[in-house]
Amino acid sequence: MSISASNIGLGCVTFGREIDELASHELLDYAYEHGISFFDTAAAYAEGASESIIGSWLASRRPEPGSFTIATKLRPPYEPGRVSQAVNESLARLGVPALDLLYLHKWDETAECIDFATALDQVVRDGCVRTLGVSNYSQNQLEHAAALHDRHNLERFRVVQNNFNFAVSDMDLEYREYCKSQNIAVVTYSPLGAGFLTGKHKNGVEPGSRFDLIPGHQNVYFNKESESKLSRLEAVAKKSGHSQAHLALAWAMHQPGIDTVLIGGRTRTHIDQALAAKNFDDLKIFAELDSESAS
């Protein structure tokens, strides 16, 4: 699936939670004007407010059909009888005739129910959803899902979206190569590790940050291995004269087997940072980073 002309997508988790509708619209305007046409949201983001804000932007700006891609997500538990209703609720909030991409928000054992898989297949056949994907799935979980769908001649998952950055990766090279062999697009998120890689949390979690709002994410990053990688990034940044954020973004955007990197943000500056990083491809610096970070 070709999900964007650019390899940068805009994650919209901040909409309705950290920034209001006006600020969200301004961010969408700026992203779209600069060639970012893939917008990632979820029914769970601000209890549907993120989807509604994107919907009001689409209604007021009226971008050319086909010039953008919107992805949203179903959250578990996955119930066969809820699929059509949940899809229709997202369609209503977004104000679109069909969902370009519908992910399962994360793996759950209820996703392996054949009745649920059949219900997912049906919304594609009905034209309500164009493409199915999964988020926060391991390679084994994705392979198992593919086997289940193939056995029953059901629509496969065509996109996988996982956390991937210099400190923490849920998409190793083997996984990415598997996706390539299966024609599954790879989308990654959190290239700055929710701000961890910028170094702003070195003296403790910054109030109002993602780690402050969702404390459960702290354990993923605040550990010996991730902090060692942060120290290495800091050293290379100091030596090269580039900021940690710039190097972390550039590293994430130039790894093999990745189709789109989602960036989050609250202001235009975050988009400018990403665009600058996309154009930075210093193999020597990447090699210096990887010499210490390779697992």
pLDDT digits (tens, 9 = 90+) for 150-173: 999 999 999 999 999 999 999 999
**What would the two tokens of residue 71 be?**
């992805």
**Is this model's pTM higher than 0.75 or not?**
yes
> What pLDDT was estimated at residue 220?
78
Closest by CA position to 69, among listed 8, 154, 136: 8
**What would the two tokens of residue 183 be?**
């024609």
Q: What would the mean pLDDT of 1-12 be, rounded to a whole number?
A: 73
Q: How many residues make up the chain in this entry?
A: 295
Domains parsed from the chain with CATH numbers: 8-293 (3.20.20.100)
Average model confidence (pLDDT) across the chain: 93
Neighbouring C-beta atoms of residue 191, cutoff 10 Å: 27
> What pLDDT was estimated at residue 212?
55
180 φ/ψ sector (left φ>0, alpha ψ -120 to 50, else beta): alpha
pLDDT in tens, 182-230: 999 999 999 999 889 998 777 666 666 666 556 666 677 878 999 999 9
Give the Cα separation of 188 and 113 in Å (integer): 26
SS3 218: helix
Give the Cα separation of 128 and 213 in Å (integer): 34
pLDDT in tens, 26-85: 999 999 999 999 999 999 999 999 999 999 999 999 999 999 999 999 999 999 999 999
Tell me phi and psi for residue 259, to 5 degrees: -85, -45
